[in-house]
Each structure stands twice: as C-alpha cells, then as structure tokens.
C-alpha cells in the first residue's frame, strides 16, 4: 500500500481560524444635516480664497447660511401603524425612529442638489421612519416585512452618497423607511489569512483604527473616508484615493453576505474560485437595489512602515498623462497617483493662499517660475522601507525621463493633509452663492485626452450659455494598465432661484459628453439616482434586462431602493 499522505493538522467540521472578535463600541458620528462633516472640523473661507472666487466666477452679495433645523419642511410620515408596530417588534422600540431630526438627517445624501435643497429647508422627501436593525437576523425580518407590506427600503450607511444614493424615494410604494446600518459593526480577524470580516455598518475609520492596533490596514481611503460605511463602499463599488496601489473596494471584498427580501445570498471568502460566474461582483455595486449588504470579508494588508508622497511638475497635462501611463505600464507602482491639469493646479495653489505657496513648494517652486501653467502630480508610495525606496527611485526615474520635474515631498504632504477637506470647502462655497460639483469617469489611455476635452467643453459651453461661465478643472487618478479615471471639478456663480436647474443642465451635458466619447458614466461615485438614466448607455438593454431579472428574483416586490440604479 502507498504511504498515506504526510499531514499534521487534525480535522474538524469548522475552519480552524484563530479569530479575534470585537464590537466597535463607539457610536458612529453623524454629519451635520445640511452639509458635510461636523461643525468642529469646518472653517470659514479665508479672504484670499474668497477674493479668488470673486475674481474668477463671482460670489453672492451676501453669505446665505442654511435655514434652522426647525424650519426644514417635511411631509407628514405616512407609514401604517401596523407596520410600525411590526418593525418595533423586530428591532425594538428605540430603533424605529421618527423624530424631526432623524427624518431630516436621513432625508438626503451629500450631493449638490441634496445640499441646495436641505439648506433651503426643502428636501424632496424624507423617510417615514428610520429603522436600525441590530444584526443580520433582524435585517432579514425587516426586509421580509417591508416586502409583504409594500414599504420601500432605502439602505443608509454613512449617508455620504453624492449621486442621490440614499434619497428616500418611494417608487410606487406609499411609504419608505431609511434602513440605518450603524448597529451592524462587528469585527472578526483571521490574522493568518489577512482577512477581516465586518458588519456592513462599520465605518472605515473604525476599521482602520482596529487594524492599526494589529499592524494592519485596509487601504481604502475615498474622499468620504471619515464617514463612510464599509457596506456603503461595497454597494457603490467605491475606489479610494490609494486605489492605484491597494485596489478599489471590489478587489478587497473576498466574501460577502447580502440580505434580500427573497432570502440571503452568502458567498464564502475563498481567495479565488472558478465555480461559475463571480456572484460577489453582483453584490458589489448593487447599490441596495437587489438587497442590503450585511457583512463583508475584506482583504487587509500589513500596514506600511514607510510612506513617501512626492510632488512632480509637468509642463503640460499631455506630458503628465504620458508619464503616468508609462508608470502604469512599467508597474512602477505608486499607491497614490494623481495629476492635476493646468486649471486645477492654478486653483489649488491659489486656494492654498499666496502666503503659503512658498511653504508648500519650497525652493523647487522658485525654480519653476518658467513653468507657468504647469501641472502638478502627486505620487505616493507606501510599504516596507526598502520597498518604498526602490519603487520611489524607479518611479522618479521614469518621471524624469518623461520630462517631469520632481519637487520633493512638500506638495505631497500638503495634499495628504487636506485629502478629505474638499467637501467642507463645498459648504463654504454654497454659503457664498457658488455652485461646485464634481463628476468622474474612466477610459482607455488612448482615449483619455479626447474624453477630457469633450467633457470640459460640454461644461464650459452649457454653463457659459446660462450666463455663469465656470472654471473647469480636471485630474487623472486611479491608474490602471489599460487606462485611468478623470475627475472633474467645476465652479461657477449660482443662478439664483434656479440652482437645481443650472446643476441639472451642467450634469446632463457632462453625462452626455462622457457617454458619447467613450467614458464610463461613473468610475467611483456609483449610479444612485443621478446616473440612473445613463446606465443603459453603459451596459446596454440586455445588461439592464439581466439586472432586472436578478432584481425580480431577489426582490420580487420591488421594495429595495426604488428610483435608483434600475429606475
């Protein structure tokens, strides 16, 4: 007889993972109802920035703050008493909420039209109740109840959507609940496998804090990082600022559970599989329209010992793009890579303040005076000491070969310090009567410059025709071997009394330009409400039909997040 295999591990029927379990005890923070973040973090616009705005786009005659909370008008809650009673039965009396402040906080996400309406005290709608399940079992019961009762369900994680993803739309249903996931925030770590399993309501900073204490990181840092939930990141196929190195959330989700009215879809965290289509990819990006992500198993990484964030100047955007492409093709992997165009470079230097300019760029800036109108790139490297040194050296050699001028770490560190600041700034611009909106896409390298030109032209023409010529800025980020994303920011004077119409015209023009010129309608903001009509352009009629067939299976009553994604 042959030798029996030499093995040393006893078997049992459950995986032998030595798992650390924890519950994040801190109550997740709640953002101010009318804008981004918390008051403590916000600051008024400095005088030189206001002067820049006045000079370039114009500002309102006087600041226009949001109305008082008590003056926000909500329609009366319409949910049936029997449904409320049944919800209380499932999640407990304290976790079915209908106060004015709860309804306002869950009335919208943080997109431009959301903020315009909230500040005016006129949200489009509000949930009839806010429901906070404690665990997967309660979640499943809530969904089944809502399906039976024909109550629309809008999942709510951190509430950071900028595309209307958490707007309490009812669809054809009389009532709508906001399903706040904040209580599902267990953490379980399989250290040996670098696999961390979390409740979907867990916030990104809470996970990073837990992992940091164990020498690990997830590496997912979207601009919404400070408030975003991990379930929300997965549901929207989020990509963090360091995605060129760490990958977008889709690459981090190894296993996932999704509760749907029909039943639960549970996909084990195999590192890889060839067992039919990858259903994880159906759950990631499902935006609450097929079900609610309840639990995620995420790939962690060893926390980087070293970090180097560098600036580099290029004479033109085209030259910078060529350099980033060379870096992506050579796998000279940076973890963060972004290249601002001339306009964005000019504006970010101006907003940083003339008095801090020298501090930020130091002597290198002086050497660059000839480079007027140049483009600033930020390249960030993270990892083990020797690894960072090696990658940095290789990357900067490529940058130089492509005509770039490395200008040291000051601009990189400045960017890193302010990487989550833009949404606070937006609130200040709104106070001063300035529309600021961002939109993003991705395309092949061979199409990148052409797509950028088309979108920028569409925005300039549309807003210019409306009498409010904009500043249109763009940066490249999120590098891939075959292409990259483009992120546009535009600012203009608000058209008073027509703020939403002005926004809609610009958004429509930009979206049409993106679809007509070979871009995806969204690289990382998701579909939500604002892009729903463009989904068919992207995946075709048969793609939409396939998703509808899935929805019919998982959510036959059509209560899950109506008015979004498949609307």
Residue 243 sits at φ, ψ, to 5 deg, of -70, -25
The whole-angstrom separation of Cα 411 and Cα 491 is 23
Does 390 sit near a copy of itself (CB under 8 A)?
Answer: yes
Binder of a copy of itself out of 305, 357, 453, 465 (CB under 8 A): 453
- Phi, psi at residue 435, to the nearest 5°? -80, 130
In the set 152, 187, 204, 472, which binds a copy of itself (CB under 8 A)? 472
Question: Of the ranges 117-125, 198-206, 223-231, 378-386, which one interacts with a copy of itself (CB under 8 A)?
Answer: 378-386
List CB contacts of 326: < 8 A, sequence separation 6 or more.
Answer: 332, 398, 401, 402
Residue 132's contacts (CB-CB under 8 Å, 6 or more residues apart) are 91, 95, 96, 97, 180, 181, 182, 183
The reply on whether position 103 binds a copy of itself by CB under 8 A is no
Residues 493-522 that bind a copy of itself (CB under 8 A): 516-522
Helix then strand count (H, E) for the chain reads: 19, 19
Contact indicator for 503, 116 with CB cutoff of 8 Å: yes
CA count, 13 A, side-chain hemisphere, 266: 6
The answer to whether 388 and 306 are in contact (CB under 8 A) is: yes
Give the containing element (helix H, strand E) for 308: strand 306-314
Q: Which of 230, 284, 407, 506 binds a copy of itself (CB under 8 A)?
A: 284
Taking the C-alpha atoms of 442, 164, 241 and 425 in order, what is their torsion angle to the nearest 10 degrees?
120
Q: Which helix (H) or strand (E) holds 91?
A: helix 81-91
> Taking the CB of residue 226, how many other CB atoms lie within 10 A of it?
20
Q: By CB under 8 A, name the one of 78, 481, 496, 498 that touches a copy of itself.
A: 481
Total residue count of the chain as it appears in this document? 567
**Residue 252 DSSP one-character state:** H
Among 524, 529, 530, 561, the residue binding a copy of itself under the rule CB under 8 A is 524
State which of residues 147, 554, 559, 560 lies at the interface with a copy of itself (CB under 8 A). Answer: 554
Nearest 5°: phi and psi at 85? -65, -45
- Chain positions 321 to 360 lying near a copy of itself, rule: CB under 8 A, are 325, 329-331, 341-343
Q: Toward a copy of itself, which CB reaches closer, 85 or 330?
A: 330
Is the Cα torsion angle 138, 140, 145, 146 positive or negative in sign? Answer: positive
User: Residue 203 or residue 531: which is nearer to a copy of itself going by CB?
Assistant: 531
To a copy of itself, the closest distance from the beta carbon of 460 in angstroms equals 5
> Least CB distance from residue 68 to a copy of itself, whole Å?
35
**Interface region with a copy of itself, contact rule CB under 8 A, candidates 68-76, 115-123, 307-315, 381-389:** 381-389
> Which residue, 358 or 457, is less far from a copy of itself as judged by CB?
457
Considering only residues 139 to 198 of the shown chain, the ones binding a copy of itself according to CB under 8 A are 190, 192-195
The answer to the question of residue 20 lying near a copy of itself (CB under 8 A) is: no
Stretch that binds a copy of itself, among 127-135, 310-318, 351-359, 502-510 (CB under 8 A): 310-318
Whichever of 153 and 484 has its CB closer to a copy of itself, that residue is: 484
Asked whether the beta carbons of 109 and 168 are under 8 A apart, the reply is no
Q: How far is the CB of 494 from a copy of itself (least distance, A)?
A: 15
Binding residues for a copy of itself restricted to 413-442, rule: CB under 8 A: 442
Q: Which stretch binds a copy of itself (CB under 8 A): 46-54, 180-188, 359-367, 530-538?
A: 530-538
């Amino acid at each position: 007889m042959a030798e029996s295999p030499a093995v040393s591990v006893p078997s049992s029927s459950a995986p032998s993972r030595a798992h650390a379990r924890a519950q994040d005890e801190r109550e997740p923070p709640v953002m101010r109802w009318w804008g981004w973040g918390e008051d403590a973090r916000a600051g008024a616009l400095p005088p030189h920035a206001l002067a820049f705005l006045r000079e370039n786009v114009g500002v309102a005659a006087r600041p226009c703050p949001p109305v008082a909370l008590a003056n926000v008008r909500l329609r009366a809650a319409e949910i049936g008493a029997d449904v409320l009673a049944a919800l209380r039965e499932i999640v407990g009396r304290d976790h079915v909420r209908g106060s004015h402040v709860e309804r306002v906080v869950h009335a919208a996400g943080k997109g431009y039209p959301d903020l315009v309406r909230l500040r005016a005290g006129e949200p489009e709608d509000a949930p009839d109740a806010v429901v906070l399940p404690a665990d997967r079992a309660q979640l499943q019961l809530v969904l089944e109840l809502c399906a039976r009762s024909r109550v629309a369900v809008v999942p709510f994680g951190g509430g950071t959507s900028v595309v209307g993803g958490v707007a309490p739309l009812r669809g054809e249903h009389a009532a709508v609940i906001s399903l706040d996931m904040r209580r599902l925030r267990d953490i379980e770590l399989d250290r040996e496998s670098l696999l961390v399993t979390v409740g979907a309501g867990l916030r990104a900073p809470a996970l990073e804090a837990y992992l940091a204490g164990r020498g690990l990181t997830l590496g997912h840092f979207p601009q919404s990082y400070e408030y975003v939930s991990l379930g929300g990141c997965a549901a929207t196929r989020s990509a963090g600022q360091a995605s060129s190195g760490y990958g977008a959330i889709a690459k981090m989700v190894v296993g996932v559970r999704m509760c749907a009215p029909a039943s639960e879809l549970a996909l084990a965290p195999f590192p890889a599989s060839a067992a039919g289509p990858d259903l994880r990819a159906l759950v990631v990006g499902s935006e609450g329209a097929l079900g609610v992500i309840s639990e995620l198993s995420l790939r962690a990484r060893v926390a980087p010992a070293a970090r180097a964030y560098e600036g580099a100047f290029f004479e033109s955007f085209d030259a910078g793009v060529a350099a980033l492409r060379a870096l992506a093709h050579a796998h000279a992997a940076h973890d963060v890579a972004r290249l601002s165009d001339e306009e964005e470079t000019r504006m970010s230097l101006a907003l940083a303040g003339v008095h801090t300019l020298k501090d930020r760029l130091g002597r290198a800036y002086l050497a660059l005076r000839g480079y007027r109108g140049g483009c600033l790139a930020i390249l960030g490297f993270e990892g083990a000491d020797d690894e960072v040194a090696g990658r940095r050296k290789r990357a900067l050699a490529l940058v130089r070969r492509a005509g770039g001028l490395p200008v040291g770490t000051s601009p990189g560190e400045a960017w890193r310090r302010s990487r989550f600041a833009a949404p606070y700034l937006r609130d200040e611009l709104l106070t001063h009567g300035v529309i600021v909106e961002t939109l993003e896409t991705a395309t092949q390298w061979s199409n990148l410059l052409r797509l950028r030109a088309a979108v920028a032209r569409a925005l300039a023409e549309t807003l210019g025709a409306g009498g409010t010529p904009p500043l249109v800025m763009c940066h490249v980020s999120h590098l891939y071997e075959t292409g990259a994303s483009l992120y546009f920011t535009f600012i203009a004077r608000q058209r008073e009394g027509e703020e939403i119409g002005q926004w809609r015209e610009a958004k429509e023009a930009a979206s049409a330009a993106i679809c007509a010129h070979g871009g995806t309608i969204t690289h990382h903001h998701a579909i939500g409400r604002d892009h729903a009509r463009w989904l068919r352009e992207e995946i075709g009629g048969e793609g939409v039909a396939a998703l509808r067939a899935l929805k019919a299976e998982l959510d036959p009553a059509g209560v899950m997040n109506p008015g979004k994604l498949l609307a």
